[in-house]
């Protein structure tokens, strides 16, 4: 009986119970990876649907600083989307006030929006994110200020798209 209850709970609530509860941000690794504490359980979270430069690449430090500026001292909520091949939690990170950190990074020009299997959830959300990236590119803001960033981040985007 206990197994049936657990199985039913996993079917009804497959993405965890954190969507409604606040999580404390413990660390910002880079523009798209953070560590949070949700009710005493620490998780490494990879922002879903976007890709920011790695710390060793051009604009990596700037992307991290932007994310850190939005996250410092704040509690966030997570909209989980599963796990990646490293075991990190994939999620939309919702800031106080309801804005998505994922979207804000794309809008500010510090992240590229994934296409294909890692694209933001719905066509409407994907369009919103893609338009934000296009606006950042055409406005030459964030990492787009010098044109198209030529580094391993771009190659990774095409491989996983």
Which residues are catalytically annotated?
46, 54, 88
Q: How many CB atoms are closer than 10 A to CB 96? A: 11
Beta strands in the chain (DSSP E): 23-30, 33-38, 41-47, 50-51, 75-83, 89-94, 112-113
Pairing between β-strand 75-83 and β-strand 89-94 as defined by DSSP bridges: antiparallel
Tell me the three state secondary structure of residue 33. strand
Pairing of strands 112-113, 50-51: antiparallel
């Amino acid at each position: 009986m206990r197994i049936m209850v657990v199985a039913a709970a996993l079917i009804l609530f497959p993405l965890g119970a954190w969507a409604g509860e606040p999580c404390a941000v413990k660390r910002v690794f880079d523009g798209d990876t953070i560590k949070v504490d949700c009710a005493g359980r620490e998780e490494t979270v990879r922002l879903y649907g976007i890709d920011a430069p790695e710390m060793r690449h051009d604009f990596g430090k700037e992307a991290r600083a932007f994310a850190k500026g939005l996250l410092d001292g704040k509690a966030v909520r997570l909209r989980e989307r599963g796990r990646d091949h490293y075991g990190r939690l994939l999620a939309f990170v919702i800031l106080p006030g309801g804005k998505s950190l994922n979207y804000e990074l794309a809008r500010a020009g510090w992240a590229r929006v994934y296409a294909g299997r890692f694209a933001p959830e719905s066509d409407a959300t994907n369009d919103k994110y893609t338009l934000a990236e296009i606006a950042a590119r055409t406005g030459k803001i964030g990492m787009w200020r010098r044109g198209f960033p030529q580094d391993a981040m771009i190659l990774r985007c095409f491989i996983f798209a």
